[in-house]
Amino acid sequence: MGRNAMDISNRIDTLDYLRGFALMGIILVNIIPLLSVTPPEPTSLDVSYWRLLYLFVEGRFYTIFTFLFGVGFYLFISRANAKGKNGYVLFMRRILALFIFGLIHVQFQQGEALSIYAICGLFILPFYKANKIVNLVFGTVMLIVLSIFSNKIFMVVPLMLLGIAAGQFQVFERIAHRLKGIVIFTSIMAVLSGMGLIYQYQHLSVMTAPNNLEVQRFYNIGITIGPIVSAFYIGVFILLLQIPIVRKVLSPLKSYGRMALTNYVSQTALILLAGEALNLFNRITYVQSLFLCMAIYIIQLIFSTLWLRFFRFGPLEWIWRMVTYLQVPPIRIKERG
């Protein structure tokens, strides 16, 4: 009981907010292949949304989610070791459970990331004890080189390494003392992002609909510049969270992020259920997919907020924890008094 209470109190709220933020972007892209969304007509509202989606969403939010996995990787092992546990053994069980979740999820969502994260978790394990400067430099150089190939899978390991480095530098635990640096970093990323997005947009200048050969080049540029835009998003989001009213308004997003595994998997379930119930496969348009995502946001945000009022962990997080520690953790929050 003491350990569970400590785990919860030691959570870093900013990471939960960021996970929730990342999930809200991920669903916008994942819904397209899941429901076989119909290609937009030239000069339609759908083609405008398509452009916005692949300029500002695709290749941006999965990057944040992957980076946060690296941060969580470092924090998990460090906290386990600090409690006298064998962090490596616990982590191995943790990624085994994640891999199993992924194997089940991939049956419904071909582009799912959980099994890939689990496999890459094995590759990054030796870097836990590496020098933080080494992880930062190696992760950055590796990401720059691999991003040239415009392949998301190639970029997973370096993004996780940068997450480990962020954990080693305690970036998210000392935000109040790093605001000046975050502002400078965000400003630099803003300039680079603007340049990259302008360059990417130029490949749409002669397009009226996403149906010609230039599209692939447009996609590839988006994936290549994705980490830069993602870094800008993270910086802006962190700075906004320093404003009390913003933190309060976005508080449901924190619950959404605390249940990231449950919500990531249930996004797929809700999309497919809606597709079956409303006969949306090959019929829904891009803009209509946005409306469906907004409905799913509302359902999941409300569910996450209410669930965590009574329970310590999300449903899948509880199972994940059970496999990790080989014991059944108490899930209900007992009222005091």
Per-residue confidence of the chain (337 residues) as pLDDT tens digits? 333 333 434 579 999 999 999 999 999 999 999 999 998 888 889 999 999 999 999 999 999 999 999 999 999 999 999 999 999 999 999 999 999 999 999 999 998 999 999 999 999 999 999 999 999 999 999 999 999 998 899 999 999 999 999 999 999 988 988 899 999 999 999 999 999 999 999 887 544 444 566 788 889 999 999 999 999 999 999 999 999 999 999 999 999 999 999 999 999 999 999 999 999 999 999 999 999 999 999 999 999 999 999 999 999 999 999 999 999 999 998 754 4
- Residue 165 lies inside a defined structural domain of this protein: yes
Evaluate whether residue 14 is within a structural domain. Answer: yes
- Whether 176 maps to a domain, the answer reads yes
Residue 90 maps to a domain: yes
Distance CA 157, CA 208 (A): 36
- Determine the structural domain holding residue 160 and report its residue range: 2-325
Q: Which two tokens stand for residue 44?
A: 């339609």
Which tokens go with 226? Answer: 């994705």
Token pair for 285: 């348009």
Dihedral sign of CA atoms 27, 30, 33, 34 in order? negative
* Residue 121 within a domain: yes
330 domain residue, yes or no: no
The tokens for 20 are 């929730």
Task: Decide: 279 and 328 in contact? Cβ < 8 Å.
Answer: no
SS3 state of residue 239: helix
In a domain, 333, yes or no: no
Answer yes or no: is 331 within a domain. no
Buried b (16+ CB within 10 A) or exposed e, 33-54: ebbebeebeeeeebbebbbebb
Number of domains comprising the chain: 1
